[in-house]
Structures are given as C-alpha cells and as structure tokens.
Amino acid sequence: MLSRTSNLPIGVFDSGVGGLTVLRALRELLPDENFLYLGDTARVPYGAKSPESVIKYALQAGGALVQEGIKMLVVACNTASAVSLDALASEYSPLPVVGVVKPGAEAACATTINGKIAVIATEGTVKGGVYQRTICSMHPDAEIIAHPCPLFVGLAEEGWVDGELVEAIVARYLKPLFAAFGDVKPDTLVLGCTHFPVLREAIANVAGSSIKLVDSAETTAKTVKNILNEAQICNVGDVKGKISFLATDSAQRFAAVGGPFLGEKIDTSDVRVIDL
C-alpha cells in the first residue's frame, strides 16, 4: 500500500550507479532525510533500449521501491524520466514522482547568456527530444543541439573518468557537437545523463572555460525539498540521514563502482540484491 508517512525514506532509482550523483546532492541539501536507492544494474544501460522497455523497467523499479515503503519517488535517470514519468505518476498516485529532465532544463536556462545550449545524453534521451522540448518551453529563443554520448555510460560504470584516452573519447563526441553551432558557440553544456557528472573534469578540459557545465543534481534536490515542504512530509522520525541500497546485480560491484558517484564509501553489507 502507498503511504506518505513522513518518516519513510525517499526512493531514488537509476539504471545503475549514475543516479548516485543525484543522491549525493539530495543528501547534501536534505541531511535529515533517509533514502532508499535502487540501481537496476542487471539491465544497465537503459540508454539504447526502446521507450516501451524503459517504461516497463521504470514501473518495475518504482513498484519495488513502493513495496519497500517510500514517501516520494525520484527518477534519477534522464532516460527513464524522459519516457516514464506519466506512467509512474498514474500507477503510484498519490505518491509524488520527480524526474531529472525538468530540473536539468531549468539549470540550463538559468546559466545560458547567449541562448545556445548543447546537450549530451543517452541515445534514448536525445532521440525522444525531451531536453529540446523542455528547454524551448522555458526559453523559446534558445538554440538547442543534442548529441548522444553512449560510451560515457560505460566509461563511468568502469571508473575510467580521466586521462588521455578518456579525453580523446570526449573530444570525439564534443567537437562535432560544438561545430554544429556554427560561428557562435554554445555557452552551456547540459550533462543530460546522471552518469556523466563523474566525467565532469575530462568534459570541462575538452569543452574549455567558455562553456559552463550544468547537470540536474542540485536543481532536482531543490525540487524535492520544495515538495517535502509543501506536502509537509519532511522527516520528523528519530532515524535521520540513513541510506540503504538495492541492486539487481552483484552487491560487491555496486559498492565498488558506486562509491565515487556518491562521493563516499559504500559498504557491500548495505546493498541488498533484488529481482524486479
């Protein structure tokens, strides 16, 4: 049964460990809240899957978290946010459901000065055009060009986040994207996949200092905070700041790979493996 009891954790899910970059921001802004994170590591990546499959996976992940007992669901995956928010909201109503695309678009609009915004994301997110539509609805004059960077997910999951080889791959993706803008280059680059912030330094080195990098993490955390306050469901229980993890594949691998994304060590004993 659904419950919005305020001392329940906030459920967060992603295809893998990428959403831990969002959890990190949530924890920083909401240190009194408890979180239950689910990484669908057995089926990562979602980025090249069809919208139908991603919606099915998202409903299964959401269902598993709802069954555990959560007061809000954060879809910390752009690919899933792009296609499954409506399905999740209607399936688990009245549970509040928050995605990461709108917060990412808001961050981009707040950052750009020249209105030229480059977006990098998974193939699914780019093909669906969700960032283009969402940014345009907020900033109708913006010029938005989005390119998929599917290899970044593999690099991030592998922990290959810096060095010459990584920067060469980043350059291979970014150079044609920036060139597509013609003479006036973008001043804002949206990291439209929650796996990408761990590659931030390599991406910034290639993009150069005139292009600002934005992601959804902080703006998503602010959105969640507002909803908690408006719905009056802030945690008032004795247990505060606890994170538990669920994964659909090896707990050891989740803990080892996930640490750098969360910015703190994850103990294998805190990760429970489930089937969806």
Question: Residues with catalytic annotation?
Answer: 77, 193
Which secondary structure element, helix H or strand E, spans residue 75, and what is its range? strand 72-75
Closest CA to 122 of 187, 46, 185: 46
In terms of Cβ atoms closer than 10 Å to its own Cβ (0-12, 13-18, 19+), residue 41 is: buried
Q: CA 137 → CA 55, 130, 214, 253, distances in Å? A: 24, 11, 18, 40
Q: Does 77 bind ligand DGL (CB under 6 A)?
A: yes
Residues 1-20 that bind ligand DGL (CB under 6 A): 14-16, 18
Confirm or reject binding of residue 258 to ligand DGL (CB under 6 A): no
**Which residues in 267-276 are b (16+ Cβ under 10 Å) and which e?**
eeeebeeeeb
Considering only residues 125 through 184, tell me which ones interact with ligand DGL, judged by CB under 6 A: 125, 153
Closest by Cα among 271, 243, 253 to 12: 243
Residue 103 interacts with ligand DGL (CB under 6 A): yes or no: no
Amino acid, single-letter form, for residue 239: V
> How do strand 212-214 and strand 188-191 relate by DSSP bridges?
parallel
| Residue 125 or 248 having the CB closest to ligand DGL | 125
Kindly tell me which of 83 and 251 has the beta carbon lying closer to ligand DGL.
Answer: 83
Work out whether 27 is an interface residue with ligand DGL (CB under 6 A): no
Binding mask 31-70 for ligand DGL (x = CB under 6 A): -------------xxxx-----------------------
220 binds ligand DGL (CB under 6 A): no
Is residue 193 within the footprint of ligand DGL (CB under 6 A)?
A: yes
Q: How far is the CB of 84 from ligand DGL (least distance, A)?
A: 12
List contacts with ligand DGL (CB under 6 A): 14-16, 18, 44-47, 77-79, 122, 125, 153, 193-195
